[in-house]
Amino acid sequence: MRAIVFDRFGGPEVLRVAQMEPPRPGPGQVRLRVRAAGVNPLDHKIRDGAMQAVFPTSFPATPGLEAAGVVDEVGPGVAGLAVGDEVLALTDTGAYAEYALATVAARKPAEIDWDEAAALPVAGETAHRVLDLLAVGAGETLLVHGAAGAVGSLAAQLARARGAVVVGTASPRNHDYLRSLGVVPVTYGDGLVDRVREVAPQGVDAVLDAAGHGALPDSVALREGTTDRIVTIADPDAAQLGVTFSSGGRPTGELLAEIARAAVAGLLRITIAGRYPLDGASTAQARSATGHTRGKLVLRL
Ligand SMILES: NC(=O)c1ccc[n+]([C@@H]2O[C@H](COP(=O)([O-])OP(=O)(O)OC[C@H]3O[C@@H](n4cnc5c(N)ncnc54)[C@H](OP(=O)(O)O)[C@@H]3O)[C@@H](O)[C@H]2O)c1
């Protein structure tokens, strides 16, 4: 099979297309013929070696955490999925490949295309996890830092579906996009606390930091000095500030199915910012690393 591999840590140039043996499914795993793979910021952070302590990588490595495709082989003990099923999945092996293994997978509804299905698992699971942690409810006000990104935009929409008012930070070019998601836009940077207070005089009940660009002190100020109900998924200063850092949930196929159903029902919209062929993986990761993607980048296989 064709797959992207890297043999050392470095910039996007370390990624190359290679011929590899397709992986074989073990107990509980299905193998997918991948049709689309999602590109996540974690992919380039792993590639450049920044995540080695948390996600140890051995070489050769294939990037990618999520994919959509067709089940072409089923390992022992798999219930509910069969050869020929179209699925979205969190992959156990690198998703930037023609074939990948997955333990966590769900049937892809026909209404969702391959790109959307590949873009939903990581951001959808993360958005679900953090909203549950924050216990956002109807009538409350949630502030989302990074609301135009993949996780931020899905979390904002899920919070809207729960009946919350959502204020989201983004650069001005994304403000109309945030409005289209039902989010009150605010520009990030100096003066943020005043701008949020202006659009949310009722106060902020919970904060999701999906950007990781130093907005936690402002978040604590907006929560009137408490770190209660503030969660970050990206700010390394969280522990120092006493703020909860959420990572790595326990996703299930049922959760992926629920996310896919929400997309079909129109409660979740994932914007595809760019589509690349497999050999465009380094370009896609370089774009992801700019930190200004609206929605999600995907590789088409
Ligand atoms: N801990 C976990 O479980 C977990 C899970 C998934 C992702 N993550 C991490 O969470 C972060 C977000 O992931 P993602 O996939 O949503 O990323 P993404 O889609 O690449 O996020 C890009 C967005 O960030 C916005 N942004 C850039 N600078 C900003 C700032 N200073 N303030 C507010 N927004 C800003 C951009 O908006 P503008 O273009 O308008 O600037 C853009 O829309 C990444 O660091 C990722 O590694 C963590």
pLDDT in tens, 86-121: 999 999 999 999 999 999 999 999 999 999 999 999
Ligand 1 mutation target, pool 122, 171, 187, most atoms within 8 A of CB: 171
Q: Is 168 in the pocket of ligand 1 (CB under 6 A)?
A: no
Prediction pTM value:
0.98
Q: Is 126 in the pocket of ligand 1 (CB under 6 A)?
A: yes
pLDDT over 80 (residue 44): yes
Mean pLDDT of 258-284: 97
pLDDT over 90 (residue 27): yes
Task: Count Cα neighbours of 296 within 13 Å in the Cβ-side half-sphere.
Answer: 32
Q: What is the pLDDT of residue 249?
A: 77
Rounded CA-CA distance 142/98 in Å is 40
Q: Is 210 in the pocket of ligand 1 (CB under 6 A)?
A: yes
Q: What is the pLDDT of residue 257?
A: 98
Q: How far is CA 223 from the centre of its chain?
A: 26
In DSSP terms, 165 is beta-bridged to 141
- Tell me which residue of 135, 240, 164 sits closest to 147, measured CA to CA: 164
Arithmetic mean of pLDDT over the chain? 97
Burial pattern 37-51, b for ≥16 Cβ within 10 A else e, equals bbbbbbbbbbbbeeb
Q: What is the pLDDT of residue 255?
A: 97
Burial pattern 193-220, b for ≥16 Cβ within 10 A else e, equals bebbeeebeeebbbbbbbbbeebbebbb
Q: What is the pLDDT of residue 248?
A: 80
Distance 284 CA to ligand 1 centre (A): 15
Q: What is the pLDDT of residue 184?
A: 98
Q: Is 251 in the pocket of ligand 1 (CB under 6 A)?
A: no
The one-character DSSP state at 295 is B
Q: What is the pLDDT of residue 56?
A: 93
pLDDT above 90: percentage of residues in the chain: 98
Rounded CA-CA distance 48/60 in Å is 14
